Chains A and B, each alone.
Chain A
Amino acid sequence: MTDLAAPALKAPLPETWVYPCAVERGGGLWVEPGGFHIDPVRGVDRAVITHGHSDHARGGHTHVLATPETLAIMESRLGEGSGTHKQPLPYGRPLTVGEVTVTLVPAGHVLGSAQVVVEWRGSRVVVSGDYKRRRDPTCAPFEPVPCDAFVTEATFGLPVFRHPPAEDEVAKLLHSVALYPDRSHIVGAYALGKAQRVIALLREAGWDRPLWLHGALIPLCELYERHGVPLGELRPATGASKEDLKGQIVLSTPSAVQDKWSRRMPDPVVAYASGWMRVRQRARQKGVELPLVISDHCDWDELCQTLMDVQAPEVWVTHGREEALVHWATGQGFRARPLHLVGFEEEDT
């Protein structure tokens, strides 16, 4: 990010030009001198979208600016509702919107996910969207950008959340498959990002048999492959016989795992790939037999580390457990405050 200007001494205060917007006027963050919203929750004239998850990428906007991958994901999910005029902006290319320079920088969350770096009169704000710091074979890694104000999520903003290496969790899945050769393993994984990451990790771990998919996962897996993420042989699980699925791994949306759809599986072992699986009680509530702690969000240590890395004097904390991260950041000398944005869910992350 050497092409970004260094913050000037008399730059405007970040909160004077980037601030939360009421839901009735579109919601999300409003970048006033640029005349656009970031991740608005209602249809607006100009929207910059961080990534394709449905609580960030909503339909009904007139102009949409996002990475080419995010735009492809929105088209796949929302069809015609994905926006009237769509402008792809690859990572690392500054673009002037109104008086503001916008640059998209990898956020490491899912394919195409971006931090939105906005600059105006020497002041720089980074809206990181959802992000993670771990290696992920299916998307570009997070790049820290020094800034005056850093807007961070806090989905796993409690020190009890420390994600183990995802590779170890996949090894746990494969151990279970070896232990129960007559059962199928059904892995609940969010359709965008998590499913493809689990598949890629399974391939890296040497699992070369076909993977069976719930129908809702297929379009996004195909989209990932079109964008150069190889996932190996994938087959639809719908229509497969119980005999076919013995000793096999099936991936499904989290909601279908516990529902009628899973009745076709032979005595399935229910696994669930999510950061929430770290807490046993949560896992047991969901009836999960094999919790896999694989998250596309930062854990506590990574949230803290990121604040140290970007060294923004202002830290604004959005959705999740804001209070704990604000408490920690304040203790470290940051000016930290919660940013109460409406419409972002604690979903299957």
Chain B
Amino acid sequence: MNRFAALMDALVFTPARNGKIRLLTDYWQTTPDPERGWALAALTGSLTFGAAKPAIVRNLVMTRVDPVLYGWSYDFVGDTAETAALIWPARPGTNTPPPPLSEVVHGLTSAKRSEVPALLEGWLDALDSDGRYALLKLITGSLRVGASARLAKTSLAEWAGGNGVQASVDEIEELWHGLRAPYLDLFGWLSGAGPKPTVAATGGYRPTMLAQPLEDEDIAGLDPAAYRAEWKWDGIRVQVVARTLGESRLYSRTGEEVGAAFPDVVERLAFDAVLDGELLVVRDGEVRPFNDLQQRLNRKQVTPKLVKEYPAHIRLYDILFDGDEDLRALPFDARRQRLEDWYARTRPPAMDLSPMVPFETWEELAALRAGARDNAIEGLMLKRADSTYVSGRPKGPWFKWKRGPLTLDVVVMYAQRGHGKRASYYGDFTFGAWTGDPENGGELVPVGKCYSGYTDEELVRLDRWIRNNTVRRYGPVREVPPGLVLEVAFDSVHRSTRHKSGVAMRFPRVHRVRWDKPAAEADRLATLEAMIVE
């Protein structure tokens, strides 16, 4: 548990992806089975303990700590698990060794609800505060260490490489859902000590095929006859793995299970196939903006009202398996035919086919793309007619050709330092738009934040401007007077009750720094509001 706690802590404080991978490979290398397997299960969200609830933790702490002191401490720390971990007074004379992670896992899985407090109390006494923190985060199911399941698997592949084992992250993904914690066979394979595990091909996620971005100027070099076009829908890319009713799954394109939030889709998957598509909210036959889909994401409870208001739907792009038949080696055209046949035969509810967009020339396609006003369309997908379905993001077979972004000239209001390599630069901006003519009482209201899109040279100059023009400081935040105009690009804009301005932009980034433009000539809030597609 101590080593696991140290890993959790290091992951929390290491911002860089490569740094996290380094920590993980170091951990796989130096930690024995089954500890490392349980840690992997914890990181990939494969552990849940129904009997351990946050209330149990609080009640336990109250048996030992003055409630007044606990209250002040909680106010200062702001997190129950961390307050409890730090405040827990060790019982004098305790010299039980800290429990290994495997002991915690076995204990919690086999314990009755009434036995959990005593178990927990013993462990809390045996652990130091970092260990207690990791334990409490683990059992209350919110590690939040900034390392995704995908990152954990990536680190496994890197570690295997260091052991002279060729194992790609896609191979691991493909095996993943057939493996069980503590993954002894997986670690055996990746350390070079054992064979690659064999997993029955059921229910598992297959690595997703992704597209390269296509720049307008590069399209002339491509042969229009070799490509097929479809709309690029603005939802969430998902893989449907349906076997028999009740055992079906929905995966994100990184292999995370997302089905729990979409019972209206998952519970109706009564067929045997693996499909690739886009998860959307479709109401009355119309695809709703991404903002509507967001109402359905990361929900612990899916209420009937939510399902009714934001009905989920899958628009199908591709078919990977029809029954047990692996179709991935077929060319796109053949797979599309199989998809259409399968669809006609199966007629699945809450699904439809992503329509093909016929075209002869790139000019014609460009005009179609420019004419698409639907907010749920991000642009076009181009797929080579002969492309097989392969994992990753190969260059050539698939392209995404996004519609030009929306842009707005905004005024910088506040700045904060960035992260990692940019920790010393003021490169994280809060920007605003005018409510009216600034000469006639118009005011700036914040409409968004951005922290990317500029070059390193521009950042140096932006940083200098912020430092030289700061009028007030609020902790890490610097306030500047209106004077710096940014042209920000963003994919779309939505109404939002969470923002004072009432609007929220999707993925704003700096398009150009308008050193030349006076702040008073920046855009009005009304201009932004006009871009909202209801």
Contacts and interface: CB of A to CB of B under 8 A. Distances in A.
Interface of A: 158-162, 164, 179-180, 258-260, 262-263, 267, 270, 278-281, 283-285, 287-291, 321, 323-324, 327-328, 331
Contact of B68 (A262, A288, A327): A327
Given A280-B82, A331-B66, A160 B76 contact: yes
Of all A-B residue pairs in the complex, the 6 with the closest CB atoms, nearest first, are: A160-B86, A160-B73, A289-B13, A159-B87, A158-B73, A160-B87
Interface residues of B, number: 34
B424 A260 contact: yes
B467 to A, nearest CB: 9
A142 B493 CA distance: 62
Contacts of B19: 180, 289
Interface stretch (B210-218, B252-260, B336-344, B415-423): B415-423
B72 A284 contact: no
A280 to B, nearest CB: 6
Given A159-B89, A281-B79, A287-B15, 12 more contacts: A158-B72, A158-B76, A159-B69, A159-B73, A159-B86, A160-B86, A160-B87, A259-B424, A280-B13, A281-B77, A284-B12, A289-B13
Contacts of B12: 280, 284
A328 B13 contact: no
Interface of B: 12-15, 19, 22-23, 26, 65-66, 68-70, 72-73, 76-79, 82-83, 86-87, 89, 128-129, 133, 417, 419, 421, 423-424, 475-476
Nearest to B6: A172
Nearest to B75: A158
Contacts of B476: 285
Chain A interface, >50% SS class: mixed
A158 B66 CA distance: 11
Contact of B86 (A161, A179, A331): A161
Contacts of B417: 258, 287
Contact of A267 (B65, B82, B86, B421): B421
A262, A279, A283: most-surrounded residue (chain B CB, <10 A): A279
Contact of A281 (B66, B78, B128, B419): B78
Nearest to B22: A179
Contacts of A331: 66
A226 to B, nearest CB: 34
A258 B89 contact: no
Given A179-B26, A323-B72, A289 B14 contact: yes
B12, B26, B72: most-surrounded residue (chain A CB, <10 A): B72
A262 B14 CA distance: 17
B86 A162 contact: yes
A323 B23 CA distance: 41
A262 B133 CA distance: 32
Contacts of A162: 86, 129
